[in-house]
Amino acid sequence: MLGYAIKRIALALLILVVVMLGMFAMVFVIPGDPASIALGPRATPELKALLIQRMGLDQPLLSQIWHFFRAAATGDLGIDVWSKRPVLDVILEVFPQTLLLGVVSLGWAVVLGIALGCLAVIWRDTFIDRLLGVLSVSMISVPSFVIALYSLLIFAVWLGWLPAIGAGQKGDWASQARALILPSFAIGVTWIGYIARLVRASMLEVMGANHIRTARAFGLPETVVVLKYALRIAIVPTIAIVAIGAGSILSSAVFVETVFSRPGIGTLITGAVEKRNYPVVMGTVLFMTAFYLVVVTAADLLIARLDPRVRDVLRG
Amino acid sequence: MSALLEVDDLSVAYRAEGGDVAALRGVSLTAQAGEVIGIVGESGCGKSTLAAALIALLDANADVTAGEVRLNGRDILSLHEDARRKLRGRDIAMIFQDPMTAFSPVLTMGDQIIDFQQHTGLSRAARRERARQMLLKVGIADADLCLRRYPHELSGGMRQRAAVAAALMANPALLVADEPTTALDVTMEAQIIHLLRSLRTEINGAIVIVTHHLGVIGELCDRVYVMYAGQVVEEAPVDDLYHAPRHPYTRALIACDPGAIATRQGVLPTIPGRPPDLAAPPPGCSFAPRCPQADATCRSTAPPRVRVSDRQAALCHKVVP
């Protein structure tokens, strides 16, 4: 298990480096000189040169990459060109908002998804099962920004039940919770559908397995059969999907935070790209990739904990 | 004296789209304590449904349309689900066909074999010790290691030995083994047959072995029921079945057994045709379409059960007492 954990973490670090190299390449492909955009059309060449120097853009590419990685390894992601604050501080200031949004979205996607999936299994092949199927597929197919825009229109504009923009008053939990409902609904709804389908399929598969019949043939109570023998296996694909979902939810957050004007990583990175604020772009991407890899690696380790076969296959 | 196990005119149908499928059609059999019964037939003849009925664990889409399964005089199929559950693992135990999938892949063997003894009310430590003793008895030398292992870390033979041990630990009145050696290679098969033979005396109740393998029947059983298309077509003591089979299907089955063919031939003999569709069984004898002796009566009228001795009977028009 330890060897497997080390292998997974090493792989995660490698992915991180590859992503950052890719990110560097992309930043240099994007047209637009950051200094001209930052300083406007009437900037003098001297000012531009100064800014380019301060951003380190005059140095050779390889040296830029080297400096970036060396600094990143010590937790220094550079200085925000605009606000002159450390990028890490800027990220950490807004990250809790995105994390909260993601956790709440995924949280009720998991709760509702597992519940709907189990209902479909209980009422298998009935009208309810088919209705839940249609509902799930509809939820999967509608993109989160469409849900975001329409829920905004219906609940905030027409009905006026919920706030349209912002993250609520600081220190006022009720207002913050109310501001979370629409955005987390917009993000989570796709995942309710996914998880419901997945839980249904894996529960049906597991309940038909021979070892469930064995457990029943030895007279184990049905609760033990379902909770100890079936759910433990059926939950594995769901964990994997939820971990991958963490990544997808971060990208949905970019849309949804923009639509709802919520502070967060999404609005931060959109603004930074528009202003060619490269240290913030790079820092945010690095931070989010690292976060995503932590989640996925943790899920892999959890799955290996739950399923000894995975452990053995990966040990080789 | 009534028998330990009596299956009386049992009919089971599966609900399916486009009509019910009659998997068992009036099956009757008996087994005394200490007896080993064989049930043999080709795939789809209803023998696995019969095995499931014997342990009162039919699928949700199966209906008992007639008959009873009586264990010590009590009809187990009419019991409430909770009472049936309590029979299983205590009065009735089962050895499954495929040791590869019969155990949960995510729990250790020990964890499962300990769970399987839940009705004993013993502590987990005591159950573990019982399991250890029984594993040693079925020939697993390092029983402690086996209990710590996950199923996929054991060989097929080891898993099937463990399955036998789990079943024996119930000390059942009825032990049902559904194709106990089918998923094993030839050496393992011989070992498990040997094991079951040596353990016969350990079991006070009756053993029912369900298989398509005549060799297994010959090695292990006292009496045999031959099934075809959901019916028992012949019942006989094992020696009589091999030496004086009366039903044409039994004869064909024995002729097709690769182990019993004395002279080497270019092609394996087969029974031409295929079993009838059990959603719409033929009006006459089910075997008539494939039977070399069949005539017009066979095709139109259901055959009688003809007793040829007090222990042998065949379901056939052509058999004379």
Of A103-107, A248-252, B264-268, B314-318, the range with the lowest mean pLDDT is B264-268
Mean pLDDT for the stretch of residues A2-8: 81
- Which residues, including other chains, have CB under 8 Å from residue B224's CB and lie 6 or more apart? B37, B38, B39, B40, B217, B234, B235, B236, B237, B238, B241
Domains and CATH numbers, chain A: 95-260 (1.10.3720.10)
Q: Would you call B107 and A228 a contact, using CB atoms and an 8 Å cutoff?
A: yes
- A123 vs B contacts (CB less than 8 Å): none
Contact check, Cβ <8 Å, A232/B96: no
DSSP for A117-146 reads HHHHHHTTTSHHHHHHHHHHHHHHHS-HHH
Instruction: Please write the tens of the pLDDT for every residue from A64-84.
Output: 778 878 887 787 777 777 777
Q: Which of A89-98, B60-69, B113-122, B257-266 has the lowest mean pLDDT?
A: B257-266
Per residue in B36-51, pLDDT tens?
Answer: 999 998 888 888 899 9
Contacts of A308 in chain B (CB under 8 A): 105-106, 150, 152
pLDDT of B275 over the 70 cut: yes
Question: Which pLDDT does position B149 carry in this prediction?
Answer: 92
The whole-angstrom separation of Cα B150 and Cα B236 is: 42
Q: Which residues in chain A touch residue B87, judged by CB atoms under 8 angstroms apart?
A: 219
- Residue range B249-255: average pLDDT? 89
Which residue from A211, A219, A222 is facing B88, i.e. has the nearest CB?
A: A219
| B252: nearest Cα among B209, B302, B293 | B293
Average pLDDT over residues B283-307: 90
Smallest Cα–Cα separation from B169: which of B90, B287, B240?
B90
No. of helices (H) and no. of strands (E), chain A: 14, 0
- B313-315 and B62-71 as β-strands: parallel, antiparallel, unpaired? unpaired
Cα–Cα distance between A291 and A265 in angstroms, integer? 12
Residue of A nearest to B171 (CA): A218
Confidence label for B240 from pLDDT (cuts 50, 70 and 90): very high
Taking residues A152-177, what's their average pLDDT?
Answer: 75
B55, closest residue in chain A (CA to CA): A217
Lowest mean pLDDT among A125-134, A195-204, A254-263: A254-263
Which pair of tokens denotes residue B261? 């063919």
Tell me whether residues A221 and B85 touch, CB distance under 8 A.
yes
Question: Percent of chain B beyond pLDDT 70?
Answer: 98
Residue of B nearest to A228 (CA): B107
Q: Which of A209, A216, A219 sits opposite B119 (nearest CB)?
A: A219
Give the per-residue pLDDT at B210: 92
Lowest mean per-residue pLDDT among A105-114, A127-136, A153-162, B312-321: A153-162
> Does the pLDDT of residue A314 top 70, yes or no?
no
Best residue in A214, A222, A223, A231 to probe B by mutation, most B CBs within 10 Å?
A: A214
pLDDT band at A316 (very low <50, low <70, confident <90, very high): very low
Q: Rounded to whole angstroms, how far apart are CA atoms B278 and B289?
A: 14
Distance CA A150, CA B285 (A): 68
pLDDT band of B260, cuts 50, 70, 90:
low
Contact (CB<8Å) B153/A312: yes
Q: pLDDT band at residue B263, thresholds of 50, 70 and 90?
A: low
Provide the mean pLDDT of chain B. 88
pLDDT at B250 over 60: yes
Of B26 and B2, the one with more pLDDT: B26
Alpha helices in A155-277 (DSSP H): 173-207, 210-217, 222-224, 231-260, 265-274
ipTM above 0.95, yes or no: no
For residue B209, what are the β-bridge partners? B38, B177
Q: pLDDT digit string (tens) for B75-123?
A: 999 889 889 998 998 899 998 877 778 899 889 999 999 999 988 889 9
Are B104 and A229 inside 8 Å of each other by CB? yes
Q: How far is B93 from chain A (nearest CA, A)?
A: 7
Mean pLDDT of all residues in B272-300: 87
Q: Do B87 and A217 touch (CB under 8 A)?
A: no
Nearest-Cα distance to chain A for B116, in Å, is: 5
Chain A CB contacts of B152 below 8 Å? 308-309, 312
Percent of all residues in chain A with a pLDDT value above 70, rounded to a whole number? 92
pLDDT at residue B24 is higher than 90: yes
Residue A175 to chain B, least CA–CA distance (Å): 45
In A, what residues contact B, Cβ < 8 A? 209-211, 213-222, 224, 228-229, 232-233, 306-309, 312
For residue B31, what pLDDT is reported?
Answer: 93
Q: What is the pLDDT of residue B245?
A: 92
Cβ–Cβ gap B87/A219 under 8 Å? yes
In angstroms, the CA B42 to CA B297 distance is: 25
Residue pLDDT, tens place only, A279-300: 788 888 888 888 888 888 888 8
